[in-house]
Amino acid sequence: MPETANLVAFALIALGMVLTPGPNMIYLVSRSISQGPKAGLISLGGVALGFVFYMLCAAFGITALVFAVPYAYDALRLAGAAYLLWLAWQAVKPGGRSPFHIRELPRDRPGKLFMMGFLTNLLNPKIAMVYLSLLPQFIDPARGSVLGQSVALGSTQIAISVTVNAFIAIMAGSISLFLARNPLWLNIQRWLMGTVLAGLAIRMATEARR
């Protein structure tokens, strides 16, 4: 198992990223608003499967990488920090569009909803970066199985992302209406997430190599 501090830090990153608008949130919110919460939850099932696919691929790939490339952690650490800074800027930059703005979509059958959720997540660069660049920073080979630590961290990310996205899918209509009436809260959310992600990026960039 990863160290408790590493697990908590990674959980905070996962929470910050799931609350930062991206392809998954935009698709799930759009589906929930256009076709109802049930459609959003079916789509979320596909998104969850995409998470599991990435987790397993990354877990086995990271295990091999640890033993093959001595300085791989440094390269991944800096790339991950740069990506977190980019996400922080995306959260606070002027003119950003809220995913809770209503978008009308055609109604789809459950099978297509599930598959579109899966493909949306599979092609999501944010999730690819989580598993290929961010997750390795929280693995300590000295604590035992790299594969086991990768699965533990990945499972934490999946649990947080699915829980938050399920809440968003169910409450999308109400959240959209609330933000339309209270735009100040949208700005607070954007700046809070931007600050958290920037802080985590600085921590990652200045962390000494293991």
Q: What DSSP assignment string belongs to the chain?
A: ---HHHHHHHHHHHHHHHTS--HHHHHHHHHHHHH-HHHHHHHHHHHHHHHHHHHHHHHHHHHHHHHH-TTHHHHHHHHHHHHHHHHHHHHHSTTPPPTTS--------HHHHHHHHHHHHHT-HHHHHIIIIIGGGG--GGGS-HHHHHHHHHHHHHHHHHHHHHHHHHHHHHHHHHHHH-HHHHHHHHHHHHHHHHHHHHHHHHSPP-
Domain parsing of the chain, residue ranges: 4-206
Q: What percent of the chain has pLDDT over 70?
A: 73
Confidence label for 210 from pLDDT (cuts 50, 70 and 90): very low
pTM exceeds 0.85: no
Q: What is the pLDDT of residues 110-168, one digit of tens each?
A: 999 999 889 888 777 677 777 777 787 788 777 778 788 888 998 999 999 999 999 98
